Amino acid sequence: MGAQPAVEVRDLVVRYGATTAVDGLDLDLRHGRVLALLGPNGAGKTTTVEVCEGFRSRTSGSVRVLGADPTGAPEALRARMGVMPQGGGAYPMVRVREMLDLVAACSARPLDTGWLVETLGLASCAKLPYKRLSGGQQQRLSLACAVVGRPELVFLDEPTASLDPQGRHLVWDLVRAMRADGVAVLLTTHFMQEAEALADDVVIVDHGRVVAAGSPDELTTSGAEDTMRFRAPPGMDLALLDDVLPEGHLSKEGPPGHYTVSGHIDPQVLAAVTAWCARQGVLADDVRVGRRSLEDVFLELTGRDLRS
Amino acid sequence: MSATFDSGTFSPDPGVGSRLRMLAVHTRTETLLALRHSEQLLLTLVIPLALLVGLTLLEGLVELPEPRVNAALGTVLALAMMSTGFTSQAIALGFDRRYGLMRRLAATAIPRWLVVTGRLGGMAAVVVIQVVVLSAVALALGWRPDGGSIGWALLLVLLGAGAFGACGLLLGGSVRADLVLVIANVVWFVLLFVGGIVVPADQLPGALGIVVEYLPSGALAEGLRSVLLGGTPGLGHVVVLLVWGAVAGLVAARTLKWD
């Protein structure tokens, strides 16, 4: 461990026939850190993770995982990492504890599987076969399988995709605890909130390329010093708001219900906007000054077109 | 469902587990699943048992040499191996793959050869149960075994389980699950009736009788009936089973898909 990075990817290219899934991507992840790969569907997130796990071969570029080349997923390397594949994986008829015990048996000093089942809220479905579990339960079992072997590095591919809010917070608590204990975590997500809540570093990818990288703070503050954002019911008449704003300020509605005021934002401008909202009888919600949400950054960079 | 975790709970401490323990837990899981699955049990135990009783007691069903129970036991042991090794194994593997099991196991430290060994271990456990149950019922129906025939019969059962097991892995490991389901069941039906299992090869019309001697079903059933009726297995039967096992095994090892 120590100074050696957990994952180091340089200029990764992955092509399938004529399609380029990953096109010159760089990543760095150190122990005790959480890296979130953020991107729309088809951006190349899963492909990148699978190359790092050693399950997919690369066309070119260099990949070092825990100091080794992961190609072919050698056993010794697999033992040191925990993998939560997208969509999970188990015998269709197996029970939660049986599956977890099987995965635990592959490791030398696994966590207590009974405790994990309990902690991840899976005790209530202990008797059900895997195929009868809800999506969220399957996902929590998959997470348990990823962490049971006390890995140094964990890959979580969309770990909270089908979880309810409680389940999501449980997973977040677990990821934070792993990070605090020195585990390196590489996760993919398309929930901005998840990346903002968990990640030390966020890498936004689109069409297989990094379009932005940095801490959530860096990504959300850069280039946004002179804006104020708030949410309110959609369709307000902003001509009236512009009348009360000082010279040089302009308001506009982005996605319905998302308002932006640009210009130098000082306490007077803030007060003017909220007072105006109050006169309209609406509550300005989620007010942010000089800071975009990661979602704003994401949509700015990757566009608003729907991906399949 | 929020949880707080003590500091150090997830402190990294990885390592490859003991191979023996991996194999033991994997085999146990496979066996448990095979015994819990009612459709598989129907195929592996209920139908062979019903056929054993039927063939022994209903003389008009199929023409069999005396003592009928000896020949019937040969027939149902061959069927039992086909059910477990081929049909049941192929379907289980097909659906395990669809549910992402292979990908899941590939992500652990378990070596790939051990995944296959564990599956065969589970299959072997079911075979032992089948042999014990079917032999016990045959004894109750009047089967009187002699030492020599038992040795030959066990050898043939082993070779048959191996040949069908390899074919099952080949089919289940290479084709889509729903297709595996169809093929595995159709082949089971066809081989049961015209593959030399229920109807002996010499009672099948013309060329079919010759062809089935070269199928694992025909070779195994003919061999088992012959040794249980006091004869020795033809060298041909042994060779046919060995060749099917080896060829299907080699092809399966190349085509087995891990996703």
Mean pLDDT, residues A5-21: 93
C-alpha R_g of chain A: 22
Look up the CATH number of the domain holding residue A35. Answer: 3.40.50.300
Distance from CA of A22 to the nearest CA of B (A): 21
Is residue A280 predicted with pLDDT exceeding 70? yes
Q: Which residues contact B185 (CB under 8 A, 6 or more apart)?
A: B87, B91
Domain, as residue range, for B240? 19-255
Are A102 and B26 a contacting pair at CB < 8 A?
A: yes
Domain, as residue range, for A233? 225-290
The answer to whether residue B3 is domain-embedded is: no
The answer to whether residue B223 is domain-embedded is: yes
Distance of CA A19 to the CA centre of its chain: 25
The answer to whether residue A198 is domain-embedded is: yes
Encode chain B (259 residues) as per-residue pLDDT tens digits.
556 889 999 999 999 999 999 999 999 999 999 999 888 999 999 999 999 999 999 987 788 888 899 999 999 999 999 999 999 999 999 999 999 999 899 889 888 889 889 999 999 999 999 999 999 999 999 999 888 889 999 999 999 999 999 999 999 999 999 999 999 999 999 999 999 999 988 888 888 888 999 999 999 999 999 999 988 878 999 999 999 999 999 999 888 877 6
Are B12 and A73 a contacting pair at CB < 8 A?
A: no
Of A35, A88, A286, nearest to B98 by C-alpha is A88
Chain A touched by B19 (CB under 8 Å): no
Question: Is A198 in the same domain as A275?
Answer: no
User: Of A219, A247, A267, at which residue does a domain stop?
Assistant: A219
Q: What is the DSSP letter of A68?
A: B
Distance of CA B65 to the CA centre of its chain: 26
pLDDT digits 0-9 by tens, A218-244: 887 765 567 888 899 998 888 888 888
Query: How many independent structural domains does chain A possess?
Result: 2
Question: Is A21 in the same domain as A108?
Answer: yes
Amino acid identity of residue A75, one-letter, is: E
- How far apart are the C-alpha atoms of A130 and A92, rounded to whole Å? 5
pLDDT band at A1 (very low <50, low <70, confident <90, very high): very low
Helix (H, G, I), strand (E, B) or coil at A15: strand
The answer to whether residue A200 is domain-embedded is: yes
pLDDT digits 0-9 by tens, B42-64: 999 999 999 999 999 998 778 88
The answer to whether residue A87 is domain-embedded is: yes
Is residue A188 predicted with pLDDT exceeding 90? yes
Question: Is A61 in the same domain as A168?
Answer: yes
pLDDT digits 0-9 by tens, A134-177: 999 999 999 999 999 999 999 999 998 888 888 899 999 999 99
A134: how many CB neighbours lie within 10 A of its CB?
Answer: 14
Interior angle at CA B26, CA A140 and CA A147, nearest 5:
30
Question: Is A17 in the same domain as A76?
Answer: yes
The answer to whether residue A189 is domain-embedded is: yes
The answer to whether residue B68 is domain-embedded is: yes
The predicted complex's ipTM stands at 0.90
Look up the CATH number of the domain holding residue A243. Answer: 3.30.70
The answer to whether residue A242 is domain-embedded is: yes
Are A183 and B25 a contacting pair at CB < 8 A?
A: no
- How far apart are the C-alpha atoms of B245 and B159, rounded to whole Å? 8
Are A181 and B1 a contacting pair at CB < 8 A?
A: no
Distance from CA of B112 to the nearest CA of A (A): 10
Q: Return residues 173-202 of A near B (CB < 8 Å).
A: 173-174, 177-178, 180-183
For A178, the token pair is 């792993």
Find out whether B29 and A94 touch, Cβ atoms under 8 Å.
Answer: yes
| Total CB pairs under 8 A between chain A and B | 148
